Structure 1
Amino acid sequence: MGSVLFQDVTVGYEDEGSGEPLVLVHGHPFDRSMWRPQIEHFSRSGRRVIAPDLRGYGQSTVVAGKTPLETFVRDIVRLLDHLGIERFVLGGLSMGGQIVMEFYRLFPDRIRALLLADTFAAAETEEGRTARYEMAERLLREGMDGYAHQVLSKMVSPHNIATQPDVAEHVLRMMTGTAPEGAAAALRGRAERPDYTELLSHISVPALVVVGTEDAYTPVSDARDIYERIPNAELAIIEQAAHMPNLERASEFNAVVEKFLNSLPEVPEVPESTATTETAAPAARES
């Protein structure tokens, strides 16, 4: 667990394990704790896992107004530069998946492989933009509690709410703990996001698309569309999961991601002489 200050924004993050970096971006309106099962699993299996809190969420600074996806990306870039991480596998769920696509649009050379979970690539419709702006105003007016209880059964399937109350409580706690100002800023920015459908066909790194069978927000059809547009992508459909398969079916989710990660070509080792003479030492981790 750590935090670092960049100009006017403090970014909280997890940085666990050692080895090839895996960077995980949470969705809305959650925080980095949504990745706890993945942080624990992959940090124990020989990877360095970095999971930031996006600005407006968790332990990062709440910034009101409008936060475009590009702003989230540049915050993550600054964090990774601070940690001395140049190339990495990048994954995200829902809004986090859209941030991953924006990251690839801006910094494709830094990404070794992509994980896109329960997300969609198209720009917002006019109706969707209006709905996001209206929801932003509602959250500022009413707070997060009513919204969180209203959408819980879409985030986590009703079956899993009944059989995994700890998961449901975790998801509800993340949502109700999010600052309305940060959530509203993200909603406004997301309403104006670019259309990534054309970008998908130009992705040249390995990609895994994951989706829960019961996801009402980003159904299997959305995942199939992304999968079919990305050259040589892989698709994994997680049974009995809604919008949060990484929590609802953590073992199954981890298994398909691990299989994908293990299939990636090995990273060539940097010669020691090059590393000592040409590469700056990574910045120290902060707590």
Structure 2
Amino acid sequence: MDQPRPTILFVHGYLESSEIWNEFVQELPDTYQVLRPNLPGYGPEPGRVGDYSLEAAADFLRQQLTEAGVGRVLLVGHSMGGYVSLAFAEKYPGLVAGLCLFHSSSLPDADEDRERRTRNSAFIEEHGVAAFADEFLKPQLSAAHRESMEHHVEQLKRIAAAVPQETALGSLDAIAQRPDRRDVLEKATYPVLFIAGKDDRAVPPEKTHEESLLPDHCMVLWLARVGHLGFLERPDATRRAVEGFAELVFKQ
């Protein structure tokens, strides 16, 4: 009987969808099973969502694994997807083989962050998600790439514009209310990988450095001239990092 393939679960971020991983996962070896669900309220069939909390999203991921017949998994979470992955790891630590925080953090929002999210919510309520995406997305890239990667920005704007306003607002509130989950990293019995952009304004390098000291087994990929979208800005380097991390995780 064939052994089940090790599974990598890719979790998208705020105003994104599973589509962001399309090109990224194409060159991963077929020795891995790749899952990349749309979080509740996202994707081509968002449906209605009663609970936008990160914890509810973690339960959704658990359901996806159950339906796929998957046990332990390597979680790769981009930005908000990392927050969901941390919530999953807190609730279901025995199912986590490894954790990759891809431009993400276990730290809660500071007061100024919550104030900014309140302003963003008000903007979305008044002007809509598409208008917010026009303002929100381009600064996520390193200044080194903002002109040359305009086509990628347009792709992300298209994905973001399809997100229902209710989802955009519910997710923003969930992000703002997330707890401090540094203890998840401190208690981790599995390897942790941070992928960090040196030009990331959303998750500054000093945050990543502080958190990287918490797990027993942790690695950090620092990327120059990369902002918050390393899977687009440096796809080859970040894919190699995830693939190498997966080899480590599943050979233990």
Whether TM exceeds 0.5 here: the answer is: yes
The aligned residue for residue 209 of structure 2 is 224
The aligned residue for residue 248 of structure 2 is 263
Is residue 203 from structure 1 mapped to residue 188 from structure 2 by the alignment? yes
Cα separation, partners in 2 of 1:64 and 1:82, compared to 1, 3 Å:
closer
The aligned residue for residue 57 of structure 2 is 72
Unpaired runs of 5+ residues, structure 2, are none
Is residue 105 from structure 1 mapped to residue 90 from structure 2 by the alignment? yes
Cα distance between partner residues in 1 of 2:27 and 2:151? 18
Is residue 37 from structure 1 mapped to residue 23 from structure 2 by the alignment? yes
2:157 to 153, 172, 189: 172
Cα distance between partner residues in 2 of 1:185 and 1:166? 28
Cα separation, partners in 2 of 1:126 and 1:66, compared to 1, 3 Å:
farther
1:108 is matched by which residue type in structure 2?
A: P
The aligned residue for residue 96 of structure 1 is 81
**Can you list the C-alpha shifts for 1:90-143, whole angstroms capped at 9, x where unaligned?**
110111111111111000000111111111212223443343244223313311
Contact 1:66 1:189 in 2 (8 A): no
1:85 to 70, 84, 88: 70
The aligned residue for residue 114 of structure 1 is 99
* Partner secondary structure for residue 23 of structure 1: strand
Q: Scaled by the length of structure 2, what TM-score is found?
A: 0.91
Cα separation, partners in 2 of 1:186 and 1:85, compared to 1, 3 Å:
same
**Can you list the C-alpha shifts for 1:192-222, whole angstroms capped at 9, x where unaligned?**
1111122221111011111112111101112
1:226 positional shift? 1.9
Contact 1:21 1:89 in 2 (8 A): yes
* Rg larger for: 1
* Partner secondary structure for residue 102 of structure 1: helix
Cα separation, partners in 2 of 1:258 and 1:64, compared to 1, 3 Å:
closer
The aligned residue for residue 9 of structure 2 is 23
Cα separation, partners in 2 of 1:212 and 1:247, compared to 1, 3 Å:
same
| Residues 139-178 of structure 1 mapped to structure 2, 5 A cutoff | 139-178=124-163
Cα separation, partners in 2 of 1:65 and 1:87, compared to 1, 3 Å:
closer
1:184 is matched by which residue type in structure 2?
A: L
**Can you list the C-alpha shifts for 1:237-282, whole angstroms capped at 9, x where unaligned?**
1222110101111011111111222223537xxxxxxxxxxxxxxx
Cα distance between partner residues in 1 of 2:123 and 2:217? 41
The aligned residue for residue 59 of structure 1 is 44
Contact 2:74 2:249 in 1 (8 A): no
Contact 1:22 1:48 in 2 (8 A): yes
1:64 positional shift? 5.9
Cα distance between partner residues in 2 of 1:34 and 1:226? 26
Unpaired runs of 5+ residues, structure 1, are 1-17, 268-287
1:192 to 156, 177, 193: 177
* Partner secondary structure for residue 168 of structure 2: helix
Cα separation, partners in 2 of 1:160 and 1:109, compared to 1, 3 Å:
same
* Partner secondary structure for residue 147 of structure 2: helix
Root-mean-square deviation (Å)? 1.9
Structure 1 stretches of 4+ with a deviation exceeding 4 A read none
Contact 1:37 1:246 in 2 (8 A): no
Is residue 49 from structure 1 mapped to residue 21 from structure 2 by the alignment? no
1:67 positional shift? 1.2
2:146 is matched by which residue type in structure 1?
A: I
Contact 1:57 1:183 in 2 (8 A): no
* Partner secondary structure for residue 218 of structure 1: coil
1:169 positional shift? 2.0
The aligned residue for residue 238 of structure 2 is 253
